[in-house]
Amino acid sequence: MDHHGHPRRLATLTYVTEVVRRSLTGWGRTAPTVAGVAEATSVDDVVDAVRSAPERGVIGRGLGRSYGDAAQNAGGVVMELAGLDSVHRIDPDAATVDVAAGVSLDALIRRLLPFGLWIPVLPGTRQVTVGGAIAADVHGKNHHVDGSFGAHVRRLDLVTADGSVRICTPDGPEADLFWATVGGMGLTGVVVRAELRLQRVESAYFAVDTERAGDLDDLMARLDRDDAGYPYSVAWFDSVTTGSRLGRAVITRGRSARADELPAKQRRDPLRFDAGAIATVPPGVPGGLLNRASARAFNEVWFRKAPEHRQGEIQDITTFFHPLDVVSAWNRAYGPHGFCQYQFVVPYGAEEALRTAVRRIARSGHVSCLNVLKRFGPGNDAPLSFPTAGWTLAVDIPARPGLDRLFDHLDELVLDAGGRVYLAKDSRLSAAAFARMYPRLAEFCAVRRAVDPDGVFRSDLARRLDL
């Protein structure tokens, strides 16, 4: 019998679920590799796959939103987990939910809102699974107030290398394994179930203040001054314009709207949420659509279209959190060679490194349209968790010759400032730079060695970073 009381299938040497050879990439569509892909629809499927893992190991994959090679395993097995999508129990009184790890945040929001419950941490897309959100320890616009995803996980069930299911809590007997799994990029095991602490909301809308900043210093000053007054805060900055307007930006900050703040129409059904994708980018978009000229135009328009100052605007979830979710497969817009996202954090006090980074990006000739700057709050106990107190910056750049040199320069800058790069976005960091960016790496490796001595859980990212 397994832990849910179901009779267990005999462990076999062949897969119960079908394994199909497939080429996989991350969301950035770079560096494809081929693995045997198996779809799990039950915890038993996961256990079977782990027990019969081939020499090159196995890794879990949710909705494939990591930008790089985190959910790829060349020559091994990749276990797709989005089919593990039951919502086991919603507890409106305690404000918690118990879910299978393949549930997407999009689906979960829709289930929770009728109860006035809200997922405390939402990344830049709703199309990620709960398991993936834990493995990458994702953060959102409210990090400076609420921390990252792992801070809101009360319990997780982890299928480990020996095929057992371990119950891990943040401060129980498996606390070390819990925190190694948070931000552990799937390398401690497969998260199959989790219990999350939730927040209460009155509506599915947000009261948003928008303002413009004329340059980078103005931007940082504004964020420094007022961020504490908002649970949600983020800035989009112009990454193309140089000179005196370098780093000019649009700041959007807000909070969950009370029902009595909504316009009459929304007030009738304040928890209603029915966003869907309204467009898609077709496959086969040629490269070069995003060039210096089009990116300059985009950056100009994005800055100009924002109001100089507007307060208390009521926005829905998609407008405020996930404008890109409106266009499915938007990653195809970058053309056949794909793109890289570079996101780093440098501690407060290293503002000069941030200025230098923005200047280098703007002058590099490489173009980015999705440019985000935000202040992080303190980090958590997870040794590989990305967020730490400081400034975080993210840019999306099409993969072109010479980009490796720009990123290598930025790595040095970030390292010298005592910062780090976000693994969920990374696709090209070197093992040496990674080890220097994450000083608690040895702790993570010790936990992983103990729970997976033979290296059953492996990924392309792990091979690249010598993990």
Partner 1 sequence: MVIDALGMPQSLMLFGGTSDIAVAVAREYASRRPLRVVIAARPSSLRDGTAAALEAAGCTVEALDFEATRPETHQALVEQAAAGGDIDVSIVAQGLLGDPEQAWTDSAAAIQLAQVNYVSAVSCGVALGAQVRRQGHGVIVAMSSVAGERARRSNFVYGSTKAGLDAFYSGLGMALREYGGRVLVVRPGFVRSKMTEGLPTPPMSTTPEAVADAIVEGIASGSEQIWVPKSMHAVMSGVRHLPKPIFRRLPF
- In the complex, the residues that contact partner 1 under the rule CB under 8 A are 21, 23, 28, 30-35, 56, 68-69, 73-76, 336-338, 340, 399, 401, 403-405, 407-408, 427-428, 430-432, 460, 463-464
Contact 429, 38 (CB under 8 A): no
**Residue 439 token pair:** 């000083």
Which of 169, 218, 165 lies closest to 192, judged by CA? 165
Nearer to partner 1, 370 or 451 (CB): 370
Distance separating alpha carbons of residues 36 and 361, to the nearest angstrom: 38
Taking the complex as a whole, the smallest distance from the CB of residue 314 to partner 1 amounts, in Å, to 40
Contacts of 246 (CB under 8 A, 6+ apart): 215, 216, 358, 359, 362
Taking the complex as a whole, the smallest distance from the CB of residue 337 to partner 1 amounts, in Å, to 7
Taking the complex as a whole, the smallest distance from the CB of residue 398 to partner 1 amounts, in Å, to 11
Nearer to partner 1, 68 or 377 (CB): 68
Distance separating alpha carbons of residues 116 and 109, to the nearest angstrom: 10
Contact 65, 132 (CB under 8 A): yes
Amino acid occupying residue 188: T
Q: What secondary structure does DSSP assign to 357-371, as a single string?
A: HHHHHHHSS---S--
Distance separating alpha carbons of residues 299 and 14, to the nearest angstrom: 53
Taking the complex as a whole, the smallest distance from the CB of residue 465 to partner 1 amounts, in Å, to 10
Nearer to partner 1, 31 or 357 (CB): 31
Taking the complex as a whole, the smallest distance from the CB of residue 30 to partner 1 amounts, in Å, to 4
Nearer to partner 1, 228 or 432 (CB): 432
Nearer to partner 1, 272 or 405 (CB): 405
Nearer to partner 1, 37 or 220 (CB): 37
Contact 284, 256 (CB under 8 A): no
Contact 98, 117 (CB under 8 A): no
Q: What sign does the CA torsion over 171, 174, 178, 180 have?
A: positive
Taking the complex as a whole, the smallest distance from the CB of residue 460 to partner 1 amounts, in Å, to 5
| C-alpha R_g of the chain | 22
Nearer to partner 1, 270 or 335 (CB): 335
Nearer to partner 1, 407 or 444 (CB): 407
Nearer to partner 1, 152 or 366 (CB): 366
Q: What secondary structure does DSSP assign to 242-271, as a single string?
A: -GGGTT-EEEEEEEEPPGGGS-HHHHTSTT
Taking the complex as a whole, the smallest distance from the CB of residue 324 to partner 1 amounts, in Å, to 20
**Residue 341 token pair:** 């996202």
Cα torsion at 127, 60, 112, 422 (round to 10°)?
Answer: -60
Taking the complex as a whole, the smallest distance from the CB of residue 444 to partner 1 amounts, in Å, to 20
Taking the complex as a whole, the smallest distance from the CB of residue 257 to partner 1 amounts, in Å, to 40
Distance separating alpha carbons of residues 210 and 225, to the nearest angstrom: 15
Q: Based on the number of CB atoms within 10 Å of its own CB, is 402 exposed (0-12), middle (13-18) or buried (19 or more)?
A: exposed
β-partners of residue 35 are 22
Taking the complex as a whole, the smallest distance from the CB of residue 161 to partner 1 amounts, in Å, to 21
Nearer to partner 1, 193 or 428 (CB): 428
Nearer to partner 1, 267 or 405 (CB): 405
Q: If residue 210 lies in a helix (H) or strand (E), which one and from where to where?
A: strand 205-213
Nearer to partner 1, 5 or 401 (CB): 401
Distance separating alpha carbons of residues 58 and 190, to the nearest angstrom: 10
Report CA-CA distances (Å) from 270 to 102, 106, 115.
28, 18, 11
**Residue 398 token pair:** 């099409």
Residue in this structure with the two tokens 């709050």, named with its chain if needed: 377
Residue in this structure with the two tokens 């552990």, named with its chain if needed: 184
Q: Based on the number of CB atoms within 10 Å of its own CB, is 94 exposed (0-12), middle (13-18) or buried (19 or more)?
A: exposed
